[in-house]
Amino acid sequence: MKHYLVIQLARFGDLVQTKRLVATLAARPDSRVHLCLDRSLEPLARLVYPDAILHPVTAHGTGLDGPEAVRAMLVDNRRAFADMRAVGFERVYNLNFSGLNFRLAALFDPDTVEGYAWKDGQELISPWAAMAMRWSDHRRLSINLVDFWAAYCPDAIAPQRVNPPASGRDDGRGDGRGGGLGGGLGVVLAGRESRRSLPVEVLARVVGTVARARGVGRVVLLGGPGERAAGQAMLKELPPAVQAMTRNVAGQTGWADLVEIVGSLDLLLTPDTGTMHLAAHLGTPVLAFFLSSAWCFETGPYGEGHVVHQATAPCLPCLETRPCDHGLQCLGPFADPGYPRFLATGNPDHAPGGLLACQSRFDALGQTYAPMIGSDPDAEQRAGFRQFILSHLTGDHDSIRKGLSDMDTLMAQRVHRERDWITTAPMRTITE
């Protein structure tokens, strides 16, 4: 039996987005997958990864209160570290750039660690992770995070095997319509970063329009305790008929409740959130609103048939840690008075400027998004970049050298180092 460890100490959405990597390791003969994660996400991980052996640690301090709790955390963490060190892992995939991740890597032979390792007091970054850091200055061209983490494995499973397709595939109009499961419309009130979420009054117009256009019988408002008040405020903004069928459960759902609700929905309206990734995991159709720091080609819903409305302002994607110097220009398409009409009709002539409506699809590299309405100014360069990355992963060096345009060559020089060819094993995708 070969044991593999995935260290994923980030938040809710990142845990779900590790699925292609975890599924790849689980598909190997005679393998057991272990997952080290923040203790607060352990109940969710048992639902998403029921066959994985979990090693929960306290990474974010969630739920700690007082010195006794801190001491208990230290004791529990030391026990978890000792348990992991005793396993003897074939390979360790350490996915996050953080001080704790580097220190955790010190538990293992650095030659077995992919991602972020520790050797003789030094922090080491593997070539694939280092490449990603170099292309982070060109985020409009980036690849999906699910595919990035999976690419640590040359035998990554086919992307179509990761999540079920969205039930009730969209009809191509860009409005997220299709068949359904009967659970109505779910609405995620806000994400962890405020600028990437729609304001209450804008979201209320969207919800009212979509609920009437689809003829749903139930609307469920979702979020954490911090969104409870936003849900109450939005209820007041909804048309009376929609308000009467709407229930605000923000802050009232455990992980099992959330999985049950999201799995039953006909459609989920959401910004870039962990709940969006959970819906994709379950095959629930998503209509996502991406603006500010959220860029669908990086972190859009994974699977076939989801719809994303992506703002395309030239300043995107930004960093929410920095103030916006453009007057929230990316919010403009969603706040445009004509946007509800576009949602209701799906008519391209009704789409506001600065908006790209696209549907999630797969290519040879993994998840991508095909424009249905609007113009993608980066499409040609992104296609070249994706081919460059695919050729790198498959070891097809000649294809890169022969096919690169002058622009592609400049991009390759910025993100690539000659030694990267030497240290990367060719990828072969499992398709059966």
| pLDDT per position as a tens digit, 116-164 | 999 999 999 999 999 899 888 889 998 999 999 999 999 999 999 999 9
Q: Which of 359, 377, 395 is the last residue of a domain?
A: 377
Where in the sequence is the domain holding 149, given as residue range(s)?
130-156+381-432
Residue 286 has pLDDT above 90, yes or no: yes
* Residue 226 to residue 154: CA distance in whole angstroms: 41
Instruction: Show which of 360, 377, 394 is a domain's final residue.
Output: 377
Of the candidates 426, 359, 412, which has an alpha carbon nearest to the alpha carbon of residue 166? 359
With respect to residue 231, please indicate whether it lies within any of the assigned structural domains: yes
Domain containing 88 — which CATH number?
Answer: 3.40.50.2000
Shared domain check, 141 and 97: no
The rounded distance, in Å, linking the Cα atoms of 430 and 432 is 6
Residue 162 lies in a domain: no
Q: Cα–Cα distance between 150 and 350 in angstroms, integer?
A: 39
9-23, 68-82, 304-318: range with lowest mean pLDDT: 68-82
Say how far apart CA 240 and CA 236 lie, in whole Å.
9
**What is the per-residue pLDDT for 152?**
97
* CB distance 272 to 252 below 8 Å: no
Say if 169 falls within a structural domain: no
Give the span between the Cα atoms of 258 and 268, in whole angstroms.
Answer: 12
Same domain for 92 and 59: yes
Residue 215 included in any domain = yes
Interval 392-396 mean pLDDT = 82
What total number of domains does the chain contain?
3
Domain assignment present for 178 = no
The whole-number pLDDT of residue 420 equals 59
At residue 59, the pLDDT reads 87
In a domain, 177, yes or no: no
Spatial distance between the Cα atoms of 18 and 16, rounded to a whole number of angstroms: 5
Q: What is the pTM of this model?
A: 0.91
Both 219 and 355 in one domain: the answer is: yes
pLDDT (mean) for 347-353 = 95
Query: What H or E segment, with its residue span, contains residue 278?
Result: helix 274-282
Residue 19 resides in a domain: yes
The answer to whether residue 178 scores a pLDDT higher than 70 is: no
Alpha carbon 233 to chain centroid, angstroms: 28
CA gap 116, 263 in Å, rounded: 35
Please check whether residues 249 and 115 belong to one and the same domain: no
State yes or no: pLDDT of 176 exceeds 50.
no
Q: Please indicate, yes or no, whether residues 351 and 405 belong to a single structural domain of this protein.
A: no
Domain end among 103, 125, 147: 125
Say yes or no: 360 and 386 in one domain: no
CA distance 259 to 281: 10
What pLDDT band is residue 181 in, cutting at 50, 70 and 90?
Answer: low
User: Quick check: is 225 in a domain?
Assistant: yes
Q: What is the pLDDT of residue 314?
A: 92
Q: Are 87 and 140 in the same domain?
A: no
User: Quick one: 141 and 209 in the same domain?
Assistant: no
Residues 370 and 402 both lie in one domain: no
Beta bridge partners of 269: 187, 287
Clarify whether residues 103 and 245 are in a common domain: no
Q: What is the pLDDT of residues 30-64, one digit of tens each?
A: 999 999 999 999 999 999 999 999 999 998 766 66
The predicted model gives 252-278 an average pLDDT of 97
